[in-house]
Amino acid sequence: MKVDNISVTPLRRVDVARATGCNLETIRYYETVGIMPDPPRSAKGYRCYDDAHVRRLKFVMRSRDLGFSLEEIRGLLGLVDDRTQTCAQVQTVAESHLQDVQEKIADLKRIEHVLSETVARCTGDAAPECAVIDALLEK
């Protein structure tokens, strides 16, 4: 394959998977839902990925690692793809996501507190009575 008169060896899906650490099925899924663009095909019908696909997939994977939803990622990629993004737009998405993460952390801290107190009341002996079960049965 030639790009700007430079010969470029196209990557196979397995090469993209190795380069990114992403599962082959996940790459297929991202293509199906439109997160990853369909790669061009060779004359023989093989998919021909390139470094742009690898960079995009790394972006998606890092975004997923940070807990962004596919819709949030789609929005960020839309801004990048249209070349219309402003830092303010990206900041708005990131701030909203950060608030969601902070709320989840607060919820988890409350859960941790309740579980810690419940487990502390548990005797752990062979008796059929159990503070954990009792707490779960409470309304």
The whole-angstrom separation of Cα 11 and Cα 34 is 19
Stretch 113-120: mean pLDDT:
89
The whole-angstrom separation of Cα 73 and Cα 131 is 43
The larger pLDDT score, comparing residue 138 to residue 92, is at: 92
pLDDT at 8: 57
pLDDT at 1: 47
Residue type, 28: R
Give the DSSP H/E element, type plus range, for residue 2: strand 2-3
Give the percent of the chain with pLDDT over 70: 94
The larger pLDDT score, comparing residue 8 to residue 137, is at: 137
Stretch 126-139: mean pLDDT:
79
pLDDT in tens, 75-102: 899 888 888 778 888 899 999 999 999 9
Average pLDDT, the chain: 88
> DSSP assignment of 34-92, as one string?
TSSPPPPB-TTS-B-B-HHHHHHHHHHHHHHHTT--HHHHHHHHHHHHHT---HHHHHH
Q: Model-level pTM?
A: 0.76
pLDDT in tens, 12-55: 999 999 999 999 999 999 999 999 998 999 888 889 999 999 99
Model confidence at 7, in pLDDT bands (50, 70, 90)?
Answer: very low
The whole-angstrom separation of Cα 109 and Cα 35 is 33
CA dihedral 28, 29, 35, 37 (to 10 degrees): 30
